[in-house]
């Protein structure tokens, strides 16, 4: 996912690919604050499609509908879940060699922060299926939002990449490229800071080849405060004589991740 973020006069905009359209961290912008922020992120939002009955209000020419859903952590945004209906007309005279995608509505939900409403339009070209993969591009418009996304607006194109799974469904990814404007929102793009991930050396009890080793790694985020840390192996695990790398990671509520590692050395007691 490539995400370019610009903030100016209380309006935040972003462009992203191979992932999801959304933005947040939702720190209120100070009155009169001005500036330009840009950031590039890389991530992939995996999705799944399952055949469903077409919802009420679907265009009458639709003869296939698929619930397309998925989720993932997007740095600078948080935990994202997308949900919308993939509406298909397989008998359109305007596309004799393929199918046509029809207008549909959906939402992008950011955990604990609100939803972004999107309207998907019919694409300008045919949706050409094959035995192994289906690909299509579909324009979208941001029509509003809830929670911290009240007043959201924007537009762009979503590219669908779908592969049949053989069980009646399919899996793949969505690539959203577009813009989003949210009045009064700044984004948290700073990862937490890990402390305590420093090399440690201990001696095993006489005649023993291993020992329990305790350590403490903390994480502090400038928005969320103290954030939980996961280390592998965890503190008070058994470590054998020799060298072992401990890997620690943490993620804040805006999806910004931090990682650190250190070496634990266990020596024989003389």
**pLDDT at residue 1, as a whole number:** 35
CATH number at residue 217: 2.60.40.10
Q: State both tokens at 111.
A: 């955990």
**Whether residue 66 is found in the same domain as residue 160:** yes
pLDDT at position 55: 85
Place of tokens 């509406």: 87
As for how many domains the chain has, the answer is 2
Same domain, 176 and 208: no
Q: Which of 186, 216, 241 is the last residue of a domain?
A: 186
Verify that 119 and 251 share a domain, yes or no: no
Q: What's the whole-number average pLDDT of the chain?
A: 79
The reply to whether 162 and 61 lie within a common domain is yes
| E-state strands within 64-168 | 64-74, 78-89, 100-101, 104-110, 114-120, 128-129, 134-145, 153-164
Count of residues making up the chain = 270
In whole angstroms, give the CA distance from residue 61 to residue 254.
Answer: 41
Are 132 and 42 in the same domain?
A: yes
CB atoms within 10 A of CB 133: 12
CA distances from 206 to 15, 109, 214, 265, 268 (A): 60, 56, 19, 16, 7
Residues 79 and 148 in one domain: yes
User: Is 0.85 topped by the overall pTM?
Assistant: no
**Last residue in a domain, options 146, 165, 186:** 186
Residue that terminates a domain, selected from 186, 220, 252: 186
Q: What is the largest CA-CA distance in the chain?
A: 86
CA–CA separation, 109 vs 69, rounded Å?
11
**Tens digit of pLDDT for each residue in 136-194?**
788 999 899 999 888 888 888 888 887 877 666 788 888 877 777 777 777 788 999 99
| CA 56 to centroid of chain Cα atoms | 29
Instruction: Supply the pLDDT for residue 227.
Output: 96
Tell me which residues of the chain have a pLDDT lower than 50.
Answer: 1-42
**Residue span of the structural domain in which 31 resides:** 3-186
Same domain, yes or no, for 179 and 232?
no
> 126 and 248 share a domain?
no
User: How distant, in Å, are the alpha carbons of 76, 105, 248, 261 from that of 57?
Assistant: 35, 10, 49, 53
- 175 with 203, same domain? no
Per-residue pLDDT at 2: 36
Q: Which residues make beta-bridge pairs with 3? A: 16
Query: Do residue 164 and residue 31 come from a single domain?
Result: yes
102 and 181 part of one domain: yes
Which of 121, 119, 123 is closest to 95 using CA atoms?
123
Are residues 128 and 146 part of one domain?
Answer: yes
Say which DSSP state 124 is in: S
């Amino acid at each position: 996912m490539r995400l370019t973020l610009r903030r100016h006069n209380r309006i935040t905009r972003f462009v992203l690919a191979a992932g999801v359209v959304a933005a947040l961290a939702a720190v209120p912008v100070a009155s009169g604050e001005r500036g330009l922020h840009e950031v590039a992120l890389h991530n992939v939002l995996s999705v799944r499609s399952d055949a469903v009955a077409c919802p009420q209000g679907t265009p009458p020419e639709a003869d296939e509908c698929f619930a397309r859903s998925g989720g993932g952590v997007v740095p600078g945004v948080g935990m994202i879940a997308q949900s919308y209906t993939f509406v298909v007309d397989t008998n359109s005279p305007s596309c004799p060699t393929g199918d046509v995608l029809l207008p549909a509505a959906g939402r992008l939900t950011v955990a604990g922060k609100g939803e972004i409403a999107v309207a998907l339009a019919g694409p300008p070209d045919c949706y050409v299926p094959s035995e192994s993969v289906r690909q299509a591009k579909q324009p979208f418009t941001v029509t509003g939002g809830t929670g911290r996304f009240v007043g959201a607006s924007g537009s762009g194109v979503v590219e669908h990449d779908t592969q049949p799974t053989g069980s009646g469904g399919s899996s793949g990814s969505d690539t959203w490229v577009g813009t989003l404007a949210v009045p009064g929102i700044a984004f948290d793009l700073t990862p937490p800071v890990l402390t305590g991930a420093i090399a440690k050396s201990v001696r095993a009890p006489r005649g023993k080849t291993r020992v329990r080793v305790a350590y403490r790694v903390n994480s502090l985020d400038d928005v969320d405060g103290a954030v939980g840390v996961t280390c592998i192996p965890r503190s008070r695990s058994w470590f054998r004589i020799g060298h072992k790398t401990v890997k620690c990671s943490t993620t804040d509520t805006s999806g910004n991740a931090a990682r650190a590692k250190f070496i634990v050395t266990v020596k024989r007691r003389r």
